[in-house]
Structure 1
């Protein structure tokens, strides 16, 4: 498959804007967790996203009913989206915003490794070193060997893995696949799993007292960030735009402190600094190579 035409600067701007949209949606999801279960939150996100993207695709003149939706590449993307969404919702329910944001910043590292292994992209030993430093930062945040290890921190790891796989599959989708149409297929594939989750949890099908302002806000900003992310990855090489995901960490750190009174520990801040530093170094190396 042939990637779309590349425009690195446009891709970078779109990525930062996407991370801002996701950060706002993340904050609203965490606020909504006070009145809704993770399963209900996921249902609202998938259902709302399906309506938004389907309406946008039809407005753009796209035909939604097509066997193309069942191509193996797209099926892989649906699985990655389900994994990433479930991981993020559970992360935002049980883990501090600052910790979630810090771990998600390692997604570009996983994406670059995946691009090297599966898309044939080449990077120098310096980039490999930066990737290693970034993973050390993740270990500092997770602290797997610590006596006070909190297993809920594994949910951001699940989200990170799903998002990385989603980005890789997005990068190699055919140029003719409209972004809104692709998002519609993804939301439609994920919706039954949200319903299954609610059924297994033996919960009511709809939340008892949802805050609809939060629901519409998290769906709207999530949809905006989603479309901008797809556009960013299609506009430039994965290894160029992915490091700019670190901007999401800045947004979430500020939101966590202002809205939830979070005070990240020294290990979390140090680990986040290593992850961001590895991303900044990767950006510098990309510019030097260019």
Structure 2
């Protein structure tokens, strides 16, 4: 891998993190007014169209994209990701962007912790130590015993757990299926399940909010496109740490647009979580294990 490829991969991953953060801010705005299932459903309609467009441009077209060695598992992955997005958007509304992303940043630690039982990978004591330290960082954010613990804080924890499982299943199906196949099933199965759930919560949307909805859909497709190009340009293990930039970008939007506050314990806890996560990513690279994907 040349330095120019690495530089391009870093820039593309940084761009994806910025666009994902913008997408999250728009999701928070829309889900604060309309039902979460409806917002995610419309987002998935556009995402599915984007996935189909990408599949047609790949060698073999749609026929090759559909052909999976794990069709049932691919469908489950897609449904799991759709459910995770609904949970995370709900967290944005209840907790805000700052605290939701601070807690969600623990997902690489969950990937490392679950890689043993799910994939049969060996997790050494160094990564277990980093996992433990990272979870201490989550406790710093939650402040149990210091203030009255809010059950709402468990929403982004659930989202991070679901996304970690999604990432591990993505690595599992990669043993037979290409990235194009997994991308196709992620978009299509997610769109089907969200339509089945979201259509019951349809409600009229203001003209201005349809504009925000359109921008949200465009951001989603753009972010995934940048992510695909980033992984094409450079090794995932080299650029994955830059996905953490989504945390400060989302925090900036939460503070400046929605008037959220960055409490000291959240800042300290998020720093601990990110450092622990970066260490687990580095150890995974040393041991040759691919890192978890960003959605």
Common fold: TM-score over 0.5: yes
Matched position secondary structure for 1:23: helix
- In structure 2, how many angstroms separate the alpha carbons of the residues matched to 1:35 and 1:49? 22
What's the C-alpha RMSD, in Å, of the aligned pairs? 3.4
Matches within 5 A, 1:59-70: 59-60=57-58, 62-63=61-62, 66=66, 68=68
Distance 1:134 1:252, change over 3 A: same
Paired with 2:86 and 2:52, the residues of 1 have a C-alpha distance of 21
Whether the aligned pair in 2 keeps the contact of 1:105 and 1:276 (CA below 8 Å) is yes
- Offset at residue 249 of structure 1 (A): 0.8
- Corresponding residue of 2:84: 84
Separation of aligned partners in 2, 1:109 and 1:30: 25
Q: How far 1:288 sits from its partner (Å)? A: 7.6
Specify the alignment match of 1:103 in structure 2.
Answer: 103
Residue by residue over 1:45-66, the C-alpha shift from the partner in whole angstroms, topping out at 9 and shown as x without a partner, is: 1111111111222233521584
Please report the TM-score for the alignment, with normalisation by the length of structure 1: 0.80
- Asked if the contact 1:35–1:210 (Cα under 8 Å) also holds between the matched residues in 2, the reply is no
TM-score by length of 2: 0.78
Unaligned 5+ runs, structure 2: 289-295
Q: How many residues align?
A: 280
- Tell me how far apart the structure 1 counterparts of residues 123 and 6 of structure 2 sit (CA, whole Å): 20
**How far, CA to CA, are the matches of 1:226 and 1:20 in structure 2?**
12
Shift of 1:81: 0.8
Q: Structure 1: 5+ residue runs without aligned partners?
A: 1-7
Distance 1:180 1:161, change over 3 A: same
2:198 is the counterpart of 1:213: no
Distance, in Å, in 1 between the alignment partners of 2:173 and 2:111 is 15
Equivalent position of 1:53 in the other structure: 51
Take 2:244 and 2:75, find their aligned partners in 1: how far apart are those partners? 28
Which residue among 268, 271, 275 is the counterpart of 1:270? 268
Contact 1:87 1:159 in 2 (8 A): yes
**Per-residue deviation at 1:226?**
3.4
Return the alpha-carbon distance in structure 1 between the equivalents of residues 128 and 9 of structure 2.
21
- The aligned runs of 1:1-290 (5 Å cut-off) are 13=10, 15-60=13-58, 62-63=61-62, 66=66, 68=68, 71-145=71-145, 148-174=148-174, 177=177, 179-198=179-198, 203-204=201-202, 207=205, 209=207, 211-229=209-227, 236=235, 243-282=241-280
